[in-house]
Amino acid sequence: KHLQPDQEAPGVLSMQDCRMQGGSPGFKVALLGASGGIGKPLALLLKMNPLVSVLHLYDVVNTPGVTADLSHTDTSTLVRGYVGKDQLEASLVGMDLVIIPAGVPRKPGMTRDDLFNINAGIVRTLCEGVAKCCPNAVVHIISNPVNSTVPIAAEVFKRKGVYDPRRLMGVTSLDVVRANTFVAEVLGVDPQLVDVPVIGGHAGITILPLLSQVKPAYSFTKDEVTYLTKRIQNGGTEVVEAKAGAGSATLSMAYAAAKFADSTLRALRGEAGVIQCAFVPSQVTDLPYFASKVWLGRNGVEEVLPLGPLNEYEREGLAKLKMELKASIEKGIAFVARQQ
Ligand code: NAD
Ligand code: LMR
């Protein structure tokens, strides 16, 4: 028997109930580099996040198509597309969170630093837009080399007088996702149950997993530590080589960035106890930027947490990574200092 138009099936919301449920306040998120290998799957994952009420997709190419496609998915997030540098500012006005995966990826044989010459300028320009149009937004930097692009972003914000170290984060969540995955393989457990802090930076030996702090607690053999540390440090290169010239990690990166964005938004909304690893302005070592666990809250990074106890292998790794990380940070700072 068919229901009459004014009848509701039991347990089904009325139109009025639906309208009252819709439009719940969420966050406005801009994704810069939205048509790329990371951008597209990340846009999909953000569109599926109930904390995102408005999603702006900006790129220098193809955002009209990506936006039209994504806008047909039946989640309540409103998607708008912006294409070309003339539309950058419009894409940024009023945003709470800006996520930046814009720029070129590696090919086999390249280091992340080889991307500096192209990506440094891209990140600088995009951050100038952020400083002008949404100076209070939290900014997640994915574009490589993260060890240099985060200092570039900071220097741009300082120049523009809008710098707040709590709101700038280099995304290193892929290192943690990889560490959890590879450790879970060794332990034979569900990766969702594993948590490995990864500190330092986001390139080669600057990526330092703290396997002595793994949760659940486990004592790895020396061979396991060597194998896992190297595999985590080379995770990006493993994907670059497997893709054989077609780019670097995109799906795993989109997953890791979506997780990090979700954590940030939950914390901005007031959820307590949100802790993630990120590459941030820091005083936990003598370097001005460092990746470690950070406590996220209503203002972004509320506190950069101490590294905790390191074993001898990790202390040596830390000593070794500092020189390379320092040089990458200084390269980023010098890049902005050279501009008029
Ligand atoms: P991609 O080439 O597939 O996509 C990059 C996108 O950026 C393209 O759509 C391009 O049009 C766009 N773009 C270029 N210049 C732009 C500009 N000025 N403004 C806006 N958009 C612009 O590359 P990808 O695979 O998506 O990787 C993007 C970046 O992310 C690379 O630098 C890569 O090394 C980095 N990455 C970082 C991590 C990490 O863990 N932090 C992981 C993977 C990749
Ligand atoms: C990664 O770790 O996958 C990214 O930094 C991309 C790359 O170039 O390795």
Q: Ligand 1, from 61, 83, 115, 142: best to mutate by most atoms within 8 Å of Cβ?
A: 142
Pocket lining: 248 vs ligand 2, CB cutoff 6 Å: yes
- Nearest ligand to the CA of 85 is 1
Mean pLDDT of the region 170-181: 98
What element of type H or E holds 29?
strand 27-32
Cβ < 6 Å from ligand 1: which residues?
A: 32-33, 35-39, 59-61, 101-106, 115, 119, 122, 126, 142-144, 146, 171, 174, 202, 247-250, 253
| Confidence label for 340 from pLDDT (cuts 50, 70 and 90) | confident
Pocket lining: 239 vs ligand 2, CB cutoff 6 Å: yes
Which pLDDT score, from 0 to 100, does residue 174 have?
99
Indicate the SS3 state at residue 79: strand
| Confidence label for 1 from pLDDT (cuts 50, 70 and 90) | very low
| Confidence label for 20 from pLDDT (cuts 50, 70 and 90) | low
Mean pLDDT of the region 38-65: 98
ipTM of the shown complex: 0.99
DSSP string, 148-186: HHHHHHHHHHHHTT---GGGEEE--HHHHHHHHHHHHHH
Q: Ligand 2, from 110, 144, 149, 150: best to mutate by most atoms within 8 Å of Cβ?
A: 144
Pocket lining: 236 vs ligand 2, CB cutoff 6 Å: yes
- Ligand 1: which residue has its CA nearest to atom 13? 102
d(CA 242, CA 107): 10
Pocket lining: 56 vs ligand 2, CB cutoff 6 Å: no
Q: Which atom of ligand 2 is nearest to the CA of 237?
A: 9
What element of type H or E holds 258?
helix 251-268
Q: Which atom of ligand 1 is nearest to the CA of 39?
A: 26
Catalogue the active-site residues: 202
Which pLDDT score, from 0 to 100, does residue 216 have?
97
Instruction: Please say if the pLDDT value at position 178 is more than 60.
Output: yes
Residue 297 counted as an annotated binding residue: no
| HEC assignment per residue over 180-196 | HHHHHHHHCCCHHHCEC
Roughly what angle, to the nearest 10 degrees, separates helices 222-233 and 173-187?
140
What does pLDDT average to over the chain? 95
Q: Which residue type does 212 have?
A: S
Q: Which atom of ligand 2 is nearest to the CA of 174?
A: 2
What element of type H or E holds 76?
none
| pLDDT digit string, tens, across residues 259-270 | 999 999 999 999
Mean pLDDT of the region 179-190: 98
Q: Which residue type does 19 have?
A: R
> From ligand 2's centre to the CA of 172, what distance in Å?
10
| pLDDT digit string, tens, across residues 210-245 | 999 999 999 999 999 999 999 999 999 999 999 999
| Confidence label for 8 from pLDDT (cuts 50, 70 and 90) | low
Pocket lining: 249 vs ligand 2, CB cutoff 6 Å: yes
Which pLDDT score, from 0 to 100, does residue 144 have?
98
Q: Which atom of ligand 1 is nearest to the CA of 146?
A: 41
Burial class (CB in 10 A: 0-12, 13-18, 19+), 219: exposed
Which pLDDT score, from 0 to 100, does residue 42 have?
99
> Are 169 and 139 in contact, with CB atoms under 8 Å apart?
yes
> Are 210 and 197 in contact, with CB atoms under 8 Å apart?
yes
| pLDDT digit string, tens, across residues 105-116 | 999 999 999 999
> From ligand 1's centre to the CA of 293, what distance in Å?
25
Take residue 234 and report the two structure tokens written for it.
Answer: 């080379």
Least confident of 21-25, 184-188, 311-315, 328-332: 21-25
Mean pLDDT of the region 46-55: 98
